[in-house]
């Protein structure tokens, strides 16, 4: 899977698990912050994304603070997933 495909897949996954019905994948800028500014996500969204990482990519998160760094943007998340995925 190319980086671009992974980015598209992550956008779709995030919209689905976070129930962002008013957002389309095109509206998410891959380099914009996901939390506070940008999409305006919060701590509970981060936890839902952790569940998504385990379900879809087999990444079992141990340290939430470390993982949150990977949530800086979609690009950062895609790099994290590419490096750590087990499925």
Partner 1 sequence: MSDRVPVVTGMGIVCASGSNKDAVWSSLMAGIPATRPLTILSSTRHGDAPVGEIREDLDTLCGKRLRGSRSDKLAYAAAIQALSQAGFSEGTVGDIGPRAGVVMGCTVGGELGTERVLANLMQRDIRRFGPLRYHECASSADLCATSFGCFGPTTTVSTACSGGAMAIAVAGEMVRDGVADLVIAGGSDSLCRLTVDGFGSLFLLDVDGTKPFDRDRAGINLGEGAGIVVIESRESAERRGASVLAVLSGWGTSCDAFHATAPESEGKGAELAMTKALHAAELQPEAISHINAHGTGTRDNDQVESRAIKRIFGSAIPPVLSTKGLFGHTLAASGAIDAVISIESLSRGGPPQSVGFREVDPEIGLAPVQESGSARQDHVLSNAFGFGGNNVSLILSHPDLLAAEKPVSVPLPEATQRGRLFVTGLGAVTHWGGTADALFEACSAEGAEPSPYDIGAPLTPGQTMAYHCAEAFGASEMIAPRRRRRLDRIQLMALVAAGGSCDADVLESVPGDRLCVAFGTGLGATAATAAFIEPLCENEEGLPSPQKFTNAVHNALASQVAIEHGARGLNSTMTHREVSFENALWHGAAELASGVADCAIVGAVDELTPYLLSAGKRWGWWGESSPKLLPLSDNLSGRQRALPGEGATAFCIMPEAHAESRLAELVCTATGRFFLTPEAHLDADREALWVEAILAEKGVSLDQIDLVLSGANGFAAVDDMYRAVVDALGARLGQSIRHGAYKHLCGEFQAASAFGMAVAVGLLTDRVSPSALLAPEGDCRVVVLYTLSESGTRAVTCIRRPEDGA
- Closer CB to partner 1, residue 5 or residue 54? 54
Minimum CB–partner distance for residue 44 and partner 1 (Å): 5
Point out which residues bind partner 1 (CB under 8 A).
18-22, 40, 42-44, 47-48, 50-51, 54-55, 64
The residue among 2 and 62 lying less far from partner 1, judged by its C-beta, is 62
Distance CA 19, CA 15 (A): 6
Q: Give the orientation angle of helix 43-57 with respect to helix 3-17, to 10 degrees.
A: 120
HSE-CB at 10 with a 13 A cutoff on CA atoms is 29
Give the shortest CB-27-to-partner 1 separation in angstroms: 13
DSSP one-letter code for 35: B
């Amino acid at each position: 899977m190319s980086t671009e495909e992974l980015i598209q897949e992550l956008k779709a996954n995030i919209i689905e698990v976070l129930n962002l019905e008013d957002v389309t994948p095109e509206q998410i800028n891959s380099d914009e912050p996901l939390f506070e500014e940008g999409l305006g996500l919060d701590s509970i969204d981060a936890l839902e994304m952790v569940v998504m990482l385990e379900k879809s990519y087999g990444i079992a998160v141990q340290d939430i603070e470390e993982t949150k760094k990977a949530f800086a943007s979609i690009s950062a998340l895609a790099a994290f997933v590419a490096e750590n995925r087990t499925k």
